[in-house]
Amino acid sequence: MADKKIRSVAKTFSWRLFIFIYWVIFGYIYTGTFVGAGILGVGSIIPLFFYYLHERIWNKVKWGTN
């Protein structure tokens, strides 16, 4: 049973939100500035598109499913 596209989109955005928050917090702790934290946070959003593509490809793979 494969996920629908809208589910993959929702999973992609929720995952990226967690990663964005992580990188902003880590960036602030590491750099001590909101500018550094913001750069890391924005940089974490770009892979969102790659994750969505990855998720859709895996939905086409039948290996490991019933």
**Following DSSP, what letter does each residue of 4-62 receive, concatenated?**
PHHHHHHHHHHHHHHHHHHHHHHHHHHHSSHHHHHHHHHHTTTHHHHHHHHHHHHHH--
Please check whether residue 7 lies inside any domain of the structure: no
Q: Which residues, including other chains, have CB under 8 Å from residue 22's CB and lie 6 or more apart?
A: 44
Q: What is the pLDDT of residues 15-48, one digit of tens each?
A: 888 988 988 898 899 889 988 888 888 887 788 7
Residue with tokens 């928050």: 21
The pLDDT of residue 25 is 92
Domain that holds residue 50: 12-60
Taking 80 as the threshold, does the pLDDT of residue 3 lie above it? no
Does pTM surpass 0.75? no
Taking 70 as the threshold, does the pLDDT of residue 1 lie above it? no
Number of folded domains in the chain?
1
